[in-house]
Chains A and B, each alone.
Chain A
Amino acid sequence: MDILNALVVFLNFVFIPAAAYGAQLALGALGVTLIYGILRFSNFAHGDTMAFGTAIVILLTWGLQALGVSIQPLPTALLALVPAIALTAVLVLVTDRLVYRFYRKQKAAPIIFVMASVGVMFVMNGLTRLLIGVNEQRMDDGARFIIDVRTFREMTGLTEGLALRSTQALTVGLAFVVMIALFWFLNRTRSGKAMRAYSDNEDLALLSGIDPERVVRLTWIIAAGLMVIAGSLYGLDKSYRPFNYFQILLPIFAAAIVGGLGNPLGAIAGGFLVAFSEVAVTYPWVRVVGYLAPWYDPGQGNLMQLLGTEYKFAVSFVILIVVLLFRPTGLFRGKSV
């Protein structure tokens, strides 16, 4: 029984939250890695564009809720995703036309692109503030739990409860669908193959008659979709505060680099790796250990927590440093230039 209880605590506080968070990071890192693969720069505006896209989702959700539209038991925000993706795609395409295309034509150094993306980040941050302010906003509705603690306890008779929030299941499910669709697109369609060819070798792709501007446009549209979905899932699962989306930039970069920049499969693996390490390192293990080793007394006040939750970003940073030290191209051998 104790082992089962320990397992339930582990699932409830470590596995499920980390899986949901990992799916969100993976979607974010996929966007970063795609932009890196095609446009060859690290997009610092990624987090703030996610915040902007999510702000649109929230506004549309509020509108739909006011109209009385609902798709119970799913959250209304899902309906708002499609128009929000379209709007965000238009925005990033305009940004590309006004900002990045100039440097692309000039063949500017990657660091100039990074700097331009910092400027874009500033503007996106301002736009988000203008649109929705800096405070916490909520948009979740629909069923709260798939399994709640009480039902689980009654069902199983265990002392520990397990809660599976509908947003967590939705996050993992939707992320899975999006990833499958993305890989199908990249591997099976003509446009996807063109994108991969362009990413592998630009000159050769140009010689084969691939239109570079079309590839870039496609990349931005897909990235916008990934950004809005990742941002909305993050906002549904945790809560929406624009500054959180700036802070999530570091774990996203860490995930993309761990997997190897420019490698989509690596980005997914990296996202889950970063999320699981972050949650595992900052979780107080005392209850799990209490069930597994009841004879061990950790002492009063010892939570058996390796690192306080306020340092969760330090975990992604340490992972980043270790990868940079020992394998700068990432676990899955991304681009090295």
Chain B
Amino acid sequence: MRYLPLTESDREQMLGVIGTSSVDDLFVDVPKGALLKDVVDLPKAQGEIEVHRHLQRLSESNTPAGRTAFFLGAGAYRHHVPASVDHLIQRSEFLTAYTPYQPEIAQGTLQALYEFQSQVAQLLDMEVSNASMYDGSTACAEAAMMAARVTKRKKIVFSGGVHPHYVDTARTACEALGLEVVALPAAVDDEAAVMQNLGADVAAVVVQSPNVFGAITDLTGIGDAAHGAGALMVAAFTECVSFGLIEPAGAMGADIVCGEGQSIGNALNFGGPYVGLFATKEKYLRQMPGRVAGETVDADGKRGFVLTLSTREQHIRREKATSNICTNSGLCQLAWTIHMTLLGEKGLRQLAMLNHEKAIELADALASLKGAEVLTKRFFNEIAIRVPGSAQKIVDALADKGVIGGVAMSRLNAHAGMDDVLIACATEMNTDADIASYVDALKKVIA
């Protein structure tokens, strides 16, 4: 087997040094009968040729996004990732390193983490960021639980614009802790509705901008109202490229900003692995979940970086930890940092503007179609569209014509009462021809 270096004679020699004759003697503590006598019922070893052939075949029974006119977002976005990003993250020293617990031989990972935290804080206009979380949805769940710890209150109110998967993920985690989750009815453009639910028992309102329908909102008033009621404002997002163009939640009073970083540096990958961004105010640092890198000096006085504030974490605090998380999304976070370095302020602003312009073109093209109504008025790169009849059926019919036209709201939330709403997104990857194909196909499908 190509991954196993021991030879039969090695094994024999080693057993001799150990002082036993059979490797099964080393499994002496396994209860009688539980040690399998034979191999399990699965295929035998295969070479690279066979494994690659099998998986290639499986991959070919999918329709990759790039082979279609593609307008799907809703939490995962198709952007260009520069070739150098994927090359760099596959360098052995990044790919096959462990969590930087020995900082003297892990400064590469640690400095990249520090740069990531700095970039995230700048992008979101927040004071501090952690080293990343699993993804946007779990970051949002962590934010809700952190707000409950900070305020010592138990109710979390979600706007009707937060991505339904984020609400469901947070609900699962929060309810396990005995917190109450109030999810307001789905609403295309009404983040401010959370203000009606403020009260002395509310730990946080969770809003999203751009929200799942693409709508962007000035969150300032919501933040003021939340703070007035002793609650935190948690601002979620799914499209981090937007902050190259729109006002970030950090500048509008958010206490915790959390969301998905996949758009920068990371492929669609059918939903994961992604990279959760999580930023907060310095005063809440001790309640922040997740690992974090910090600056220090070494024995010679040279600047270096270490994992720090680890007394919040499970390996030290055990059942009193701020979270059970024991990882960050390392390689995805590194890809994010490399891509963001390549973009810089100039590239990010340009990328964001390109996305916005494509979405305007898409919105105008669809608005001109009889039967389709664009519901989102202020947006970044994503819009909600009302279609005649079942949006799910329309999405399926479009797929048959080589157009991935978005996602039906009913797929995200079966009980939203929005079966005729579909959510579509445009990015820098879309061409004018893609938009023409979409309009043409939708016209036929509606008719």
Do the two chains bind?
Answer: no
Interfacial residues, chain B to chain A (CB-CB below 8 A): none
